[in-house]
Amino acid sequence: MLFNSFHYLLFLLFVIFIVEALRRRNGQHLVLLLASYYFYWTSSASLVLLLLYSSYLDFFCGRAIHRAQNPRQKRMYLCFSLIGNLGVLAYFKYTNFALGSFRALFNAIGWKSRLGPLEICLPIGISFYTFQSMSYSLDIYFGKLLPVSSLRQFALYVSFFPQLVAGPIVRARQFLPQLLNPVVIHWENLKLGLTLILYGLIKKVCIADNLSAFVQSIFGGELTSDSLLVFVGAVAFAIQIYCDFSGYSDIAIGSARILGFKFPNNFAHPYFASSISEFWKRWHISLSTWLRDYLYIPLGGNQKGKGRQLLNLMVTMLLGGLWHGAAWHFVLWGLYQGVLLCVHKFVVADRRFLAHSWWLPLKVLITFYLTCIGWLIFITPDLQNLSLYLRKVCFLDFTTTGVADLIHRQPFVLFLMGVFFVVHTISYLVDGLSRIFSQLGLALWAAGVFVCLMILYLLAAGQQSFIYFQF
């Protein structure tokens, strides 16, 4: 079930109506749990059992870790959780990638291989809910959380429909305490939630979906050698993937807020980052903090010398790239991000003259340019094409003739890109714009909602899936 569909609107209204009609907390939680399973069933009917599996596994592993009498037993039960979760994730997501890599290796050394791809259906959202469920066992192991006594509540935490498919990845210690009170639909939460949903829908269907055809024509069609098109296409994809993914997060956070649940913010104006380190504090915050807390810090973080810190950064970003997809270009994207982080931390960060405020605009532009190069790696699976695109972007050779031709052929695309940067700048300068809008008087707020609905009606590009559903 897509957030940008009429089906989801009816579904959400039905859930709100039923939950508001019930007054008992347990009944409300049961309705939300059944609604969440139905939500996932509409996308992956035969794979709902995986949600049940993850819920049962980490619920019982969490209790076992807490009750264990010694550290050895705690580690054993934690290993059960990690192997059980990562094993399923590896099978569904990385089996064919591994088989293809081995087949290519055997063919390269002259061995004939009969390894072929298996018919494996990738469950939607498995990377998200697996990490979310695993964090529960890890938090109990590290002493940050006590196990919950109700399997129903834990299953609701794992499968709660707003963030089930594409995040944000919510920690158990953020979500479970909110289940202690009955669900109450407050007017303030309703206004803020609807505001976030409309904002997310505009980003998704009016900007991201309208840019997708242009991006696809450049990177999904015939190979182009026009540097200007490659560069503008990379910028367009940077806007598309941000509006697509942050739009999903806004709708998820807004849907949960209507029901009284507070989710952490997942984006914080990432294209205003002045360094790649700051970018990862602003982009997909729930994943970057998950990797930091459960991978980078347990590996030693920055506590074991610069050499070890460099290795930890590279391993973390490499696995972060692989988390996004089972393909070599995602591995390269992760390595690229790791190299940028290492260069910033060990070469650039300590340069005092760069700390002056007058360098800030230049640092923002350079960071955005480096990020767009990363998005080229992200979107281009063919390594030969990628090599050409990188040469074109790093050594620009377009002329003013190309600029005029681009303006003539793609005026609407350029208009949307300009609108995005204007709105992105305003929302950066006026932090919390959605909250401010939701706090307007009823008449002004309703007028704003009407304007948003008109924008959706006039500019909606049809119903397209979200990019991060493939991860």
Contact, 461 vs 210, CB < 8 A?
A: yes
Tell me how far apart the alpha carbons of residues 135 and 367 are, in angstroms, rounded to a whole number. 31
Instruction: Name the nearest CA neighbour of 54 among 145, 143, 160, 144.
Output: 160
Tell me how far apart the alpha carbons of residues 183 and 23 are, in angstroms, rounded to a whole number. 8
Whether 408 sits among the annotated catalytic residues: the reply is no
Tell me how far apart the alpha carbons of residues 157 and 137 are, in angstroms, rounded to a whole number. 13
Tell me how far apart the alpha carbons of residues 441 and 1 are, in angstroms, rounded to a whole number. 33
- Tell me which residue has tokens 């984006």: 267
Instruction: Tabulate helix, strand, coil % of the chain (nearest 5).
Output: 75, 0, 25
Tell me how far apart the alpha carbons of residues 167 and 289 are, in angstroms, rounded to a whole number. 13
Contact, 227 vs 403, CB < 8 A?
A: no
Both structure tokens of 7:
């089906």
- Could you say which of 29, 324, 329, 344 is catalytic? 324
Contact, 438 vs 138, CB < 8 A?
A: no
Both structure tokens of 198:
């409309």
Contact, 412 vs 210, CB < 8 A?
A: yes
Tell me how far apart the alpha carbons of residues 451 and 227 are, in angstroms, rounded to a whole number. 38
Contact, 333 vs 324, CB < 8 A?
A: yes
The overall longest dimension of the chain from CA atoms, in Å, is 74
Contacts of 61 (CB under 8 A, 6+ apart): 77, 78, 80, 81, 84, 137
Contact, 135 vs 290, CB < 8 A?
A: yes
Radius of gyration of the chain (CA): 23
Q: 47 in helix, strand or coil?
A: helix
Phi, psi of 157 (to 5 degrees): -60, -45
Q: What would the DSSP string read from start to end of 359-384?
A: GHHHHHHHHHHHHHHHHHHHH---HH
Both structure tokens of 225:
């050698």
Both structure tokens of 103:
């087949």
Catalytic positions, please?
Answer: 324
